[in-house]
Amino acid sequence: MQTPDALSRLLDLGRADRTAVEWCGHELSYAGLGAAVDDVARRLTEAGAARTNVLLLGPLTPAYVVGLLAALRSGAVPVPVDAGMTSAQYAWTERISRPSVLLSSDVSPVAHFRGATGADVGELVVDAATGRVVLDTTGPQRPDSAWRYPGDDAGYLIPTSGSTGAPKAIVGSRTGLNAFLSWFVEEFELGEDDTCAALTRVNFDPSLRELLGVLVAGGRLNLPPVDVQLDLAALGGHLVESRPTLAFLVPSLARRVADVLRADSTRLGALRLAFFAGEVLPARVAQQWRGLAPGAEIVNLYGMTEGTLAQLFRRAARPEDAAGTWGLPVGRPRPGVTVTLAEPDADGRGEVLIASAAPALGILTDGPGTTPRTFHVEPMPPVLRTGDIGFRSDGDLVIAGRAGNDLKVSGRRVSYHRFVAEAEELADVAQCVVVDRQGPHAFVAVRDLAPEDEGTLRERVRAVAGRLELPAPDVHVRRELPLLRSGKVDRMALAASVSAEEASGPGAPSQEATTTDVLLELLDAQGESTASTAFVEAGLGSLDMIAFVARVNRHFGLALSAQDCFGHRDVASLAAAIERLGRTETPASAVPEDAADTVSGEPGTHPLSTRQLAYLATCMADGNANWCNLSREVRVEGTVTPAEARAALDALVARHDVLRLSLTPEWTGQVHTEPAGVRCPLTVHEAGSRTVQEARFQAVTRLIDPTTAPPLRAVLVPGEGTTSVVVVAHHLFLDGLSMDLIARELRALLLGAPLGDAPPPDGFRTYCAATRRPTEPTPDAEYWREALKGAGQTELPEAAGARDGLLLSRPFGVRAVRAAHRLAAATGVSVFAVVLAAFDQAVSRTFGLGALNVVVPVQARDGMPDTAAGMFMSQLVLRGGGPAPVEDKAREYAGQLAAGTAHSAWEFDQRAAEHGLDGTDRFPFSTVLFNQHPKERGLRARDLGSWEPRPLGRSLRYQLQGELQMSAAEMALTYYYRRGIAMHGTDVIDRLHACVIEALCQAGGTRCAH
């Protein structure tokens, strides 16, 4: 029986229970991987994706692996894109690839994929951990904008050199991919016992050999946490924890990782094959890894994207093999590849030329093929020019440097030809040459230049790189450049002249400069960036940021990671954070020592605020109910003891006066109790006795007595390696955003972190006194009487008696989020108003309703600082009117939101009473609500909701509430709904959400194919 080839084995995964992919504690078996690939491949086939490009968005997760394999199985051509692309580069990729489908995951960051153009395609959003499709907006046929390849051999499309201003897209072949994988698995004897710790970002073609090789062999693929490449310690931790037998590394990154691991005296004892590629492998790096993984064979790979992955290899590479040269030999060609040297000089050095029996198909051109809506692929020449200068030593090829001014920076080919031309146009510059020495170095020969002016010249040269969006080179000023006998510049001599100190980056800034000035100098900002320029917008890549962070940590004596710095977005925010870290004063204690003395008067009765009265009338007219309960889960790494949880809860009770309030027996006022007399009920569940969600469900189901302080209870749920504390509070005293504050502070207390500024000791009591309801109508009543003139009751069709609540979240996908942001920018309103308008349109369409009323909760703090917790929520009533374009409705809603908030003193229950809608068992004016839940920056869609329905453990006073979860540009929509409106699973919510997506995409300039 003939052995199946590599690609056949890869696309027929089998159904074994053996683990195929592991990521962040999640495991996907070969059976699970195969089922997920089957489903996505079927959807791609139904969408007409065969022989078309499919944009496959990173980062690297099980979802990405599923998408890659599904695209190959369906005959589609995956186009990997990941972090680091500018908007212009991504727009170019969209335009030239003319995709049929966009395939993303719930951790694909929207900010990296907001191209200048919108692809007229449907989108599949896949759960990052399971590979399950959670959003499908593809249609039954490929869109008109999608082009096809004329043949069946197109395997993948790799956009390259986007930072040079002259990008190109290389079409890899399925034949070449199959040939490489078949050879690779056999040559290195990969098998089921192998584990590969993946490290490479997906937009580099070497990731294909890293991901696919071990899966062809039936081994295990261990994927890193998102953006782990930005944190050297975390990257090293991923390598150690994976216990890999295989690892693929770029030398410049490998050197930094080795430094981190050696500092911890760590060894990679299971590693048997360490593959290096993308750059020249220095002997120093090989020596580091021989010590780090003494049992590993070092393999040096070499090749071009155009030649299909790697074309040459050197097994058992040793540091001593680099005698007389800077880098280790790249060895000999693999089968089907030949190598020659063009016009070798007297020393046998010439440009490396490669011929492959199965190269890439060619370069994707911008024009059409021979038939309409087909691509034209310019075939690869029979011999590929690498641009590298090499020579042979004992039969092995050795790379000596680059021909001309092309370099490889962080594994990508970057052209500095335009940079050299423009630099030589600068005054005082006679000649400029760029060489590679663990990064780009620009050598400039000057005419007559005073030594004190050299620093200014360096900045002017770096500014040229900034204008051209190139990685910034280190600049070296020379009176003259060394020449060879031929008259050419001796690039090897220049590279050798770069000392380790020169390669480490810019010098230390003056201690007299401000923090912002220091950071800009450490950033080597090229004169183009300012304190407010976002790091991503500045084109800072992962390795650039790692080098920057190393300089920051050295200068300020800190231990920041690259992820920390990206999280602060720009220099100004990072400077503020560094200044906070640098404060030497002791953080304020969670509870001021004189807190008891600052409370005015003896404990007594305090008025209810007008917000609380509105809540009592609307949600508690029939008495206390479990729909008044709000909950949050606080999860921390490690073990939390009951005593530690108790201490943290006591600190919160002492910090926030609202947690010491309770209703009077008649519910007409509230009583304050001193901290010593209040203790939050804490229930401890033994580990494994129930899941966190089960504990949360049970805690929310039980009533909280509003006449007993505190209006809060907690449940401690130990787990394996983590501990969760579920807090449940009464909505009469805490609104949703205040619950977020309580949860954040509880987490900080459990971790021993500072809490920040303390709230006013009697903050909520002061607020209640200031917002005490007057006996006579306020002037705001006239606004609401006019605004609600003729308003009826909006209510959805519902099965009788099914009022228990469910929760379900859905992602938007990057297309709909981009559309929402475009709409917001075009109409001059918030993204919230845009999504609200789309939600209005979707509810009307899904439930067959006319004009809607929508109730929108807003916070009305009336000057109370955001450090204070309490019930600050007011309910606005917005009138949707008749059918209108989303953009027009968004403007109308934005106006109503502003006016309604300004007139919120005439409260919700007062408006309802005037319209005769009070005293019923339903939410007055509308049982449809919509609100916004802002979250901290840095979250992904996956962090904003759960894609599986979850019972709330309580009934709902309303029928449907949409809650827009937002973290910077990331969004998800959470639906709280009664079971009665969705008696058949989640179908009605899925149809409703599809309508929201369609409304956004159509209005925002991208057609929704669903």
CA 53 from chain centre, in angstroms, equals: 23
pLDDT > 70 fraction of the chain, expressed in percent and rounded: 86
Is the four-CA dihedral 266, 269, 275, 280 of positive or negative sign? positive
* Diameter of the chain measured on Cα atoms: 102
Task: Tell me which residue of 250, 247, 244, 197 sits closest to 60, measured CA to CA.
Answer: 197
Cβ contacts of 682-688, under 8 Å, gap ≥ 24: 682/642, 682/645, 682/646, 682/649, 682/713, 682/714, 682/715, 682/716, 683/713, 683/714, 683/715, 683/716, 684/642, 684/715, 684/716, 685/715, 685/716, 685/717, 685/718, 686/718, 687/718, 687/719, 687/720
- Return the bridge partners of 158, or none: 170
Over 90: is that where the pLDDT of 312 sits? yes
Look at 136-150, 484-498, 838-852, 941-955 and tell me which has the smallest mean pLDDT: 484-498
Q: What whole-number distance in Å separates Cα of residue 616 and Cα of residue 636?
A: 35
Band of the pLDDT at 408, cuts 50, 70, 90?
A: low
Amino acid 595: pLDDT:
33
Over 80: is that where the pLDDT of 2 sits? no
CA-angle at 109, arms to 516 and 162, nearest 5°: 80
Residues with Cβ within 8 Å of residue 786, at least 6 apart in sequence: none
Is residue 915 within 8 Å of residue 802, measured between CB atoms? no
Tell how strand 384-393 and strand 396-402 pair up. Answer: antiparallel
Amino acid 241: pLDDT:
93
Over 60: is that where the pLDDT of 486 sits? no
| CB neighbour burial string for 779-797, b if at least 16 within 10 angstroms, e if fewer | ebbebbeebbeebeebbbe
Residue identified by tokens 């909505």 is 731
Is the model more confident about 305 or about 704? 704
The pTM of the whole model exceeds 0.85: no
Is the model more confident about 969 or about 242? 242
Is the model more confident about 760 or about 535? 760
Q: What whole-number distance in Å separates Cα of residue 293 and Cα of residue 249?
A: 13
Q: Of the ranges 69-78, 245-254, 545-554, which is most confident?
A: 69-78
Q: What whole-number distance in Å separates Cα of residue 814 and Cα of residue 118?
A: 10
pLDDT, tens digit, 9 for 90 and up, residues 236-270: 999 999 999 999 998 878 887 888 888 888 899 99
Question: What residue ranges in 535-677 does DSSP mark as E strands?
Answer: 605-606, 629-637, 661-663, 670-672
Band of the pLDDT at 648, cuts 50, 70, 90?
A: very high
Task: Tell me which residue of 767, 611, 617, 628 sits closest to 704, measured CA to CA.
Answer: 628
Look at 176-190, 503-517, 957-971 and tell me which has the smallest mean pLDDT: 503-517
Band of the pLDDT at 537, cuts 50, 70, 90?
A: very low
Is the model more confident about 984 or about 831? 831
Q: Output the DSSP codes for 950-989.
A: EEEEEE-SSSEEEEEEEETTEEEEEEEEEGGG--STTHHH
pLDDT, tens digit, 9 for 90 and up, residues 344-372: 888 888 999 999 999 999 999 988 888 98
Q: What whole-number distance in Å separates Cα of residue 363 and Cα of residue 40?
A: 28
Cβ-based neighbour number of residue 917 at 10 Å = 20
Phi, psi of 702 (to 5 degrees): -75, 140
Residues with Cβ within 8 Å of residue 39, at least 6 apart in sequence: 132, 133
Look at 574-578, 678-682, 738-742 and tell me which has the smallest mean pLDDT: 574-578
Task: Tell me which residue of 272, 337, 341 sits closest to 310, measured CA to CA.
Answer: 337
Q: What whole-number distance in Å separates Cα of residue 729 and Cα of residue 725?
A: 13
Amino acid 480: pLDDT:
77
Instruction: Please provide the size of the chain in residues.
Output: 1010
Q: What is the mean pLDDT of residues 952-976?
A: 92
Q: What is the mean pLDDT of residues 637-666?
A: 95
Amino acid 602: pLDDT:
40
Cβ-based neighbour number of residue 404 at 10 Å = 15
Q: What whole-number distance in Å separates Cα of residue 880 and Cα of residue 499?
A: 69
Over 80: is that where the pLDDT of 81 sits? yes
Domains of the chain: 1-148 (3.40.50.980), 176-359 (3.40.50.12780), 404-501 (3.30.300.30), 515-582 (1.10.1200.10), 605-769 (3.30.559.10), 774-1004 (3.30.559.30)
Residues with Cβ within 8 Å of residue 425, at least 6 apart in sequence: none
Look at 62-76, 660-674, 792-806 and tell me which has the smallest mean pLDDT: 792-806
Q: What is the mean pLDDT of the chain?
A: 85
Look at 576-585, 792-801, 888-897 and tell me which has the smallest mean pLDDT: 576-585
Q: What whole-number distance in Å separates Cα of residue 946 and Cα of residue 490?
A: 60
Phi, psi of 709 (to 5 degrees): -85, 145
Question: What residue ranges in 198-289 does DSSP mark as E strands?
Answer: 220-223, 246-249, 273-276
Q: CA 408 → CA 458, 844, 857, distances in Å?
A: 22, 55, 54
Band of the pLDDT at 869, cuts 50, 70, 90?
A: very high
- Return the bridge partners of 391, or none: 398
Is residue 919 within 8 Å of residue 792, measured between CB atoms? no
The answer for 343, left when phi > 0, alpha when psi is -120 to 50, beta otherwise, is: left
Q: What whole-number distance in Å separates Cα of residue 477 and Cα of residue 471?
A: 19
Look at 498-502, 672-676, 954-958 and tell me which has the smallest mean pLDDT: 498-502
Is the four-CA dihedral 128, 132, 137, 138 of positive or negative sign? positive
Amino acid 427: pLDDT:
86
Residues with Cβ within 8 Å of residue 594, at least 6 apart in sequence: none
Look at 18-27, 284-293, 580-589, 715-724 and tell me which has the smallest mean pLDDT: 580-589
Look at 44-58, 592-606, 740-754, 821-835 and tell me which has the smallest mean pLDDT: 592-606
Q: What is the mean pLDDT of residues 663-671?
A: 95
- Return the bridge partners of 385, or none: 353
pLDDT > 90 fraction of the chain, expressed in percent and rounded: 53
Cβ-based neighbour number of residue 151 at 10 Å = 12
Band of the pLDDT at 510, cuts 50, 70, 90?
A: very low
Amino acid 561: pLDDT:
65
Q: What whole-number distance in Å separates Cα of residue 196 and Cα of residue 224?
A: 11
Is residue 29 within 8 Å of residue 14, measured between CB atoms? no
Q: What whole-number distance in Å separates Cα of residue 595 and Cα of residue 600?
A: 10
| CB neighbour burial string for 320-358, b if at least 16 within 10 angstroms, e if fewer | ebbeebbbbbbbbbbebbebebeeeeeeebbbbbbbbeb
Tell me the three state secondary structure of residue 130: coil
Band of the pLDDT at 983, cuts 50, 70, 90?
A: low
